[in-house]
Amino acid sequence: MEQNLDALKINFDTEGLWLLNITLAIIMFGVALGIRMEDFKRLLKKPKILLTGIISQFFLLPFVTFIFIKLVNPIPSIALGMMMVAACPGGNISNFMTQMAKGNAALSVSLTAFATLVSLVMTPFNLEFYGNLYPPTAEILKSIKLDPVELVQLVCLILGIPLIIGMLVRHYKPKLADKLSKILKPISLIIFMLFIVIAFYDNISIFMNYIHYVLILVIAHNVIALLLGFYFAKAMKLSYKNQKTLSIETGIQNSGLGLLLIFSFFNGLGGMALFVAFWAIWDIFSGLTLAAYWSKQKIKE
């Protein structure tokens, strides 16, 4: 079973890889256009919220994921896919979901920016650290010879540079930033959704034949991430509004970045790619469903 799964070749060519690169960069640039330096200053004045978000995403989620992997013992490539998801920063679509859920939209956008900067170091670190800590995935990393420097460079190129350019445009040309933001946010979101739909359509036979290997794991992992963000924020005595925000920020991961790294560094490893690809579809569904539920609730503080 393991060999059959890892021999899978998901239909994703060089053109698709470049399109994903560009789409992720445009989405990050669009998010950055709405970020002011004051947002960072505001977060730094309330370090408790900032630290809760960073700890939840980059320390607790990878650790809890590792414990979950030890308990369920999935095949190594799927385990590495779980680690990849946990190592990625929050997905940019989380900003839209937070707004829909009546969460703290300003905090969501600011955390996305901060998490993006932290991910330049923490995404490669968590993938390397937990991947090598678990013997079955350590064997894959040895055969792949993952270069952390190249990994950092790619994350910088796709997330870091668009973030900095977007914030500079916001700082020096606020009117232009407002105009571009109104255009880019909906367009980039639609492009990303179309990308997922087309990729799913191109690989529908693979999904139908192999989805049972990852279906329960993806759903369980996503639920764990959403609950972790919510209850950790609650334990830190944050407001209900911020609890919802942290739940979405922790549970909606940047699976697009995960797929990009898998096809760039792991040659589209079957089990790994299948897990992250299904996560990309599932967490949009779960995030929108949760946001819709919260949007109907009365405000609770």
- Give the separation between CA 140 and CA 168, rounded to whole angstroms: 40
Closest by CA to 79, choosing from 93, 66, 89, 60, is 66
| pLDDT higher than 90, residue 60 | yes
- Please report whether residue 56 resides in a domain: yes
- Please tell me the predicted confidence (pLDDT) of residue 159: 83
- Give the separation between CA 49 and CA 53, rounded to whole angstroms: 6
**Average pLDDT value for residue range 26-55:** 82
| pLDDT higher than 70, residue 293 | yes
pLDDT tens-digit readout, 134-157: 999 998 888 877 777 888 888 888
Instruction: Tell which phi-psi region holds residue 267, choosing left (phi > 0), alpha (psi between -120 and 50) or beta.
Output: left
The full DSSP string for 54-89 is HHIIIIIHHHHHHHHHHHH---HHHHHHHHHHHHSP
The residue segments making up the domain with residue 259 are 12-290
- Please report whether residue 278 resides in a domain: yes
| pLDDT higher than 80, residue 195 | no
DSSP state of 298: P
- Please report whether residue 280 resides in a domain: yes
Contacts of 164 (CB under 8 A, 6+ apart): 32
Average pLDDT, the chain: 86
Q: Which of 61-65, 169-173, 266-270, 275-279 has the lowest mean pLDDT?
A: 266-270
| pLDDT higher than 60, residue 217 | yes
- Please tell me the predicted confidence (pLDDT) of residue 240: 93
Both tokens of 241, joined, read: 């509004």
- Please tell me the predicted confidence (pLDDT) of residue 229: 96
- Please tell me the predicted confidence (pLDDT) of residue 86: 96
**Average pLDDT value for residue range 12-20:** 69
- Please report whether residue 142 resides in a domain: yes
CA torsion sign, 174 to 117 to 90 to 146? positive
| pLDDT higher than 80, residue 18 | no
- Please report whether residue 7 resides in a domain: no
**Average pLDDT value for residue range 157-170:** 88
Residue 213: pLDDT band (50, 70, 90) is confident
Contacts of 219 (CB under 8 A, 6+ apart): 282, 286
pLDDT tens-digit readout, 91-148: 778 888 888 898 888 788 888 888 888 888 899 899 999 999 999 999 888 887 777 7
Residue 222: pLDDT band (50, 70, 90) is very high
Domain containing 215 — which CATH number?
Answer: 1.20.1530.20
Q: What angle do CA 220, 8, 210 make, to 5 degrees?
A: 40
- Please tell me the predicted confidence (pLDDT) of residue 160: 86
Q: Which of 11-20, 64-73, 289-298 has the lowest mean pLDDT?
A: 11-20
Scanning the chain, the segments in alpha helix (DSSP H) are 2-6, 14-32, 37-45, 47-55, 61-72, 76-87, 94-100, 105-133, 135-144, 148-155, 161-172, 174-202, 204-210, 215-235, 240-251, 255-265, 270-295
- Whole-angstrom CA distances from 29 to 50, 89, 169 are 21, 15, 10
| pLDDT higher than 60, residue 301 | no
Contacts of 142 (CB under 8 A, 6+ apart): none
Rg over CA atoms, the chain: 18
Instruction: State what percent of residues in the chain have pLDDT above 70.
Output: 93
- Please report whether residue 300 resides in a domain: no
- Please report whether residue 6 resides in a domain: no
Q: Which residue type does 23 have?
A: T
pLDDT tens-digit readout, 229-268: 999 999 999 999 999 999 999 999 988 888 888 888 888 7
- Please report whether residue 3 resides in a domain: no
Please give the tally of structural domains in the chain: 1
pTM (2 d.p.): 0.86
Question: Which contacts of 158-161 are long-range, i.e. CB under 8 A and separated by 24 or more positions?
Answer: 158/21, 158/24, 158/25, 158/28, 158/257, 158/260, 159/24, 159/25, 159/28, 159/89, 159/116, 159/119, 159/120, 159/257, 160/116, 160/117, 160/120, 161/25
- Please tell me the predicted confidence (pLDDT) of residue 1: 56
Q: Which of 5-9, 32-36, 49-53, 76-80 has the lowest mean pLDDT?
A: 5-9
| pLDDT higher than 80, residue 278 | yes
Run of H or E residues at 267: none
- Give the separation between CA 260 and CA 33, rounded to whole angstroms: 23
Closest by CA to 267, choosing from 124, 125, 146, is 146
